[in-house]
A and B are shown apart, each in its own frame.
Chain A
Amino acid sequence: MAPKTSPEIGGMGHSVKRKEDPRFLRGLGNYVDDVNLPGMLYLDIVRSPFAHATIKNIDISKAMAIPGVLAVITGKDLEKYNLHWMPTLMSDTQMVLPVDKVMYQAQEVAAVLATDRYIAADGVEAVEVDYDPLPVVVDPKKALLPDAPVLRTDKKDKKDNHIWHWEWGNREATDKLFSEAEVTVKEDIYIPRIHVSSIETCGCVASFDKVRGKLTVWMTTQAPHAIRTVFALVAGHVGLSEEKIQIISPDIGGGFGGKVPVYPGYVIAVAASVLTGKPVKWIEDRMENLQADSFARDYHITAELAGNKDGKLTALRIKTLADHGYTDAAANPSKFPAGLFHVCTGSYDLKAAHVEVDGVYTNKPPGGIAYRCSFRVTEAVHTIERMADLMAHELGMDAAEFRMKNFIQPEQFPYKSALDWEYDSGDYGAALQLAMNRIGYADLRKEQAEKRARGELMGIGISSFTEIVGAGPSKHFDILGIKMFDSAEIRVHPTGKVIARFGTKSQGQGHETTYAQIVAEELGFPVDSVLVEEGDTDTAPYGLGTYASRSTPVAAAACAVACRKIKDKARKIAAYLLEAHEEDLDWEPGKFFVKGSPDRAKTIQEISLAAYTNHPPGMEAGLEAVNYYDPPNLTYPFGSYICVVDIDNGTGEVKVRRFVAVDDCGNIINPMIVEGQIHGGLTMGLGPALYEEIQYDESGNILQGSFMNYLLPTAVETPNWETDKTVTPSPHHPLGAKGVGESATVGAPAAIVNAVVDALWHLGVKHIDIPITSAKVWKLLRDAGVKG
């Protein structure tokens, strides 16, 4: 679709270069660790070596003897203020600092406050903690056995480690379809614990002004406004009042979901600043970040798919154990403890489905956050795309043909899924066909057959995913009761320059550019004259923040609606200036003109000035608008990915030879940025598919606690991603846009696994859990008698 605006204006569809880049390229970004305040103290945290233990004693004397160590804060200190526990976003409870026992390895045990980062580290080492180890529960299946130790002894009457049961769909209809099915497939799929590992870790600088009673916190948060409210709710009783709490989310070095939760470190730093009246900085190191911050995934899934011999699918049945660690600290909408997992019918037209999830406590770090995905969508997509592939292979059908046969067809939209979602728009066949054309699917299948005859291993994998993003309509979506709207506040200045503020917070997505482009699109101001601000709760309108690909579906929609309010007023001013009726005016980007007389025109800049200097009698001066956008529905981006892998039958190494990604995110604001988001998302799909995993031994010791073993793909492992697109606008979004930041992370792993299984199917391999390491593939090969 050709852009409606000129390149000078730079509205939607232009690959405008990013407005945020000049500072980053010069090393002049302002990330949280760059914040430096006079008299600032440093906080460092003592962490538990045990996964489950009673704390018998904490001896701080040696630490306090170190010159420069000012205080050691323990749970008992916080208990005096009733700040030793805090709520999680899922209304569970989490320790800030423990009073009597620790629940996972690397849990915060005490905090050292010192004049210097180095001294604080020395202090941490000098704190002596006496532990009495308790039995450790690592496996969520064992956690549910009757003789398992009950972990949450803090909860009165809690007799087991079960957190919640949640189910959705029509069980009877589903069971009936299964009993009637000609073919069924069943598979256990484990989607392991992973960690977002943004290159910037988490941290904050808390600064409490005792005289004014004002707390300012610079912190790595994707949701500053919600954090302010949480702080006000948690610490209201000690005098923190919401109007005197300012959260500033400065430049963020990647978020991906890991910077949504409230971590104990933030709260301790705030407490330390409030107690001392001095600024306090807390910055995690990477090991703390990996070992203690919220994890993602950790779903133990059993899935079944039913269909007919002709390849038509009928029903899906899923049971899942969700390992949440010692507390449910996920960041899901309140109503959905398993997130949006029930989008698991995916791109396929099924008659019925039923899904059950049970949350379980174990001695692991809390979480259940997303890893660049919209509330468990990756788990859903992985399951249905694996199962669809399994069924196709079982039936001896081509994986592409099988998908084409089962796709929801374009004329079925808006489509009500078997699990009650209303998909807004889609053309799944077109996306898959384009991907097949781009990669040369038929030729690859020929090459594969030839290679297989020679004993070489090559596989082709498809993933045709449907995302669900843009949470969400207030009827169903809230976090801690706060509805999941988002906001834009736009002010036009007299000289025709604009400031636009949002409730979201970019962590690299380029909001300063794309939101400005929306203003340019709607009002015709050149993109360069629009300043976008986010992340300061004192100035930005309230919003729920940036995660789950919600900025474009929700905040960008708010931006468009606010612009349209401004445009309505601008039209009135133009009519007044042109002495014409409003209905006689036409708009072209940047000006109103009288129909049929293009010379009788007023530019948006002239109108801006008039709004302050010559506005119509009876009209309020000024030109600004606010919108809190409550989306009528979610948006459903989709795509088809095809991956080609070669497997070394000696070492088991998997090499992604090619990967074509066709995405459809509706109308596109900035093609360059969309492509960048897809490249990044694909790489965060590759990581979990082949490399990333967090495991624990039986004692609850983490095995991948640093980048030595938590393996992020480098440029060498990452293929040269090939991208393309189809455009199916969202019918309900004001801009027809859908969101794209996470599609690739959601869709990519299944394509990679499907390719590997496709390469090994003839050896009897039906499924491999991610990450597909060389060691796993080697074992499968040798078990199948391939010597290599």
Chain B
Amino acid sequence: MIPRSFEYYSPRTLDEAIALLQKLGPDAKLLSGGQSLIPMMKLRLLSPEHIVDINRIPGLDYISESDGQLKIGALAREHELESSAVIKTKLPILHDTAKVIADPLVRSQATVCGNLAHGDPANDHPATMLALGATVVATGPKGAREIGIEDFFPGLFTTALEPEEILTEIRIPIPPPHSGGAYLKLERKVGDFATAGVAVQITLDESGACKRVGLGLTNVGMTPIKARQAESFLNGKQLDEATIQQAAEIAASESEPLDDIRGSADYKRDLVRVLTARALTTALNRAKGGA
């Protein structure tokens, strides 16, 4: 389990990193947390000729709140989500998500932005970001541009990033009062990818009806799935038991799982139903001020 040889670059600024990506072309790969990249290189499934290590670029490791948004920098590590006070109080869904990614040692190195940039539908943050309606900032030779998370995952293991772009920031709207969210993942054991995962984020109006719903699904399709039909079904509705169950059925129908070692497509589709109902229930409780 030894990677192939590569040339190593350790830029000290974002501009330098982008210039390197431009110069080196498609044979270059960005190294941040490395927790997906390095295992793939050791398996020789991926053998970039050039590694551009962005870990030494200062100022990218932030999690901050400004302009009504939570901003997560390119080098913010997963474990920092688990200990962030603002996340615990205002975005518990992110806390839910961070604590079920891989294991604590991996989370100590892995970055949140990398979790998205890898483009793996089995990763957990994509569904959560879909539920939250996040945007990502891609910085390249022409400067920075925002990409809506819905447009970020065009296909399996691909993203909307251009080869010379770096995902430098995730922007998440801070939910208004009477919001709640939850991420539920069924894994075969700790450290596993999701057999299925469901992210729900809701905001209630004064009557208690849903005025905003985000619903994302993990590892039940070729890309992370935004369950649009379930979302629009829930919009404007009171979340009683029957409505929740119906939404869960709709979300399940929007999943596109395949049979694999984690279970049959039928199983995963049904898990989406079960987890959606549970996540909605938790999100509702949280929106009402509960835990």
Contacts and interface: CB of A to CB of B under 8 A. Distances in A.
Contacts of B186: 651, 653, 774
A558 to B, nearest CB: 41
Contact of B2 (A117, A651, A704, A782): A117
A515 interface: no
Interface in B220-262: 261-262
A711 B189 contact: yes
B190 A716 contact: yes
A778 B271 CA distance: 9
Which of B44, B190, B275: most chain A Cβ within 10 A? Answer: B190
A356 B180 CA distance: 61
Nearest to B4: A122
A122 B4 CA distance: 7
Interface string A651-679: 11100000000000000000000000000
Contacts of A118: 2
Interface in A240-294: 285-287
For chain B, what secondary structure do more than half of its interface residues adopt (helix, strand, loop), or is it mixed?
loop
A788 interface: yes
Nearest to B191: A714
Interface string A99-126: 0000000000000000001100110010
A451 interface: no
A286 B42 CA distance: 12
A145 B201 CA distance: 57
Contact of A778 (B44, B191, B267, B278): B267
Nearest to B103: A714
B274 A650 contact: yes
Contacts of B278: 650
B192 interface: yes
A703 interface: yes
Interface in A114-141: 117-118, 121-122, 125
B110 to A, nearest CB: 16
Contacts of B191: 714
A121 B44 CA distance: 11
Which of B2, B192, B274: most chain A Cβ within 10 A? Answer: B2
Interface string A123-163: 00100000000000000000000000000000000000000
B192 A711 contact: yes
Interface in A401-432: none
Contact of B189 (A121, A286, A717, A778): A717
A779 interface: yes
Contacts of A716: 189-190
A788 B2 contact: no
Contact of A717 (B190, B271, B274): B190
A775 interface: yes
Interface in A659-701: 691
Contact of A651 (B4, B5, B271): B271
A125 B4 CA distance: 10
B270 interface: yes
Contacts of A703: 261
B1 interface: yes
Which of B186, B192, B264, B278: most chain A Cβ within 10 A? Answer: B186
B188 interface: yes
Contact of A788 (B1, B195, B262, B274): B274
Nearest to A788: B274
A720 interface: no
Contacts of A711: 188-189, 192
A775 B262 contact: yes
B59 interface: no
B1 A287 contact: yes
Contacts of B189: 691, 711, 713-714, 716-717
A775 B267 contact: yes
Nearest to B2: A121
A225 to B, nearest CB: 33
Contacts of B68: none
B2 A774 contact: no
Interface string A757-788: 00000000000000001110011001000001
Contacts of B192: 711
Contacts of A717: 189-190
Contacts of A287: 1
A605 to B, nearest CB: 50
A308 interface: no
B263 interface: yes
B276 to A, nearest CB: 11
A433 interface: no
Interface string B25-36: 000000000000
Interface string A378-392: 000000000000000
Nearest to A116: B2
B271 to A, nearest CB: 6
A773 B189 CA distance: 10
Interface string A600-621: 0000000000000000000000
A285 B42 CA distance: 11
A508 to B, nearest CB: 23
Contact of A691 (B44, B188, B261, B267): B188
A709 interface: yes
Interface in B182-213: 186, 188-192, 195
A775 B190 CA distance: 16
Contacts of A650: 274-275, 278
B127 to A, nearest CB: 17
Given A650-B278, A716-B190, A717-B190, A782 B270 contact: yes
Interface string B266-291: 01001100110010000000000000
A651 B275 CA distance: 8
Contacts of B103: 714
Given A703-B261, A788-B274, A773 B188 contact: yes
Contacts of A714: 103, 189-191
B187 to A, nearest CB: 10
Contacts of A704: 261
Contacts of B263: 773-775, 778
Contacts of A775: 195, 262-264, 267
A281 to B, nearest CB: 14
Contact of A774 (B1, B4, B188, B261): B188
Nearest to B262: A775
A709 B261 contact: yes
Contact of B267 (A286, A653, A779): A779
Contacts of A782: 270
B244 to A, nearest CB: 13
A650 B186 CA distance: 11
A118 B5 CA distance: 9
A774 B194 CA distance: 13
B270 A778 contact: yes
B44 A125 contact: yes
Contacts of A778: 263, 267, 270-271
A651 B279 CA distance: 13
Contacts of A652: 267
B151 to A, nearest CB: 30
A608 to B, nearest CB: 51
A778 B278 CA distance: 17
Contacts of A653: 186
B195 A774 contact: yes
B257 to A, nearest CB: 12
B263 to A, nearest CB: 4
A517 B44 CA distance: 50
Contacts of B264: 775, 779
26 contacts: A117-B2, A122-B2, A122-B4, A125-B44, A285-B1, A287-B1, A650-B278, A651-B186, A651-B275, A652-B267, A653-B186, A691-B188, A703-B261, A704-B261, A711-B188, A714-B103, A714-B190, A716-B189, A717-B189, A774-B188, A774-B263, A775-B264, A778-B263, A779-B264, A782-B270, A788-B270
| Nearest 4 CB-CB pairings of A with B | A650-B274, A775-B263, A121-B2, A716-B190
Given A287-B1, A714-B191, 4 more contacts: A774-B186, A774-B195, A775-B263, A778-B270
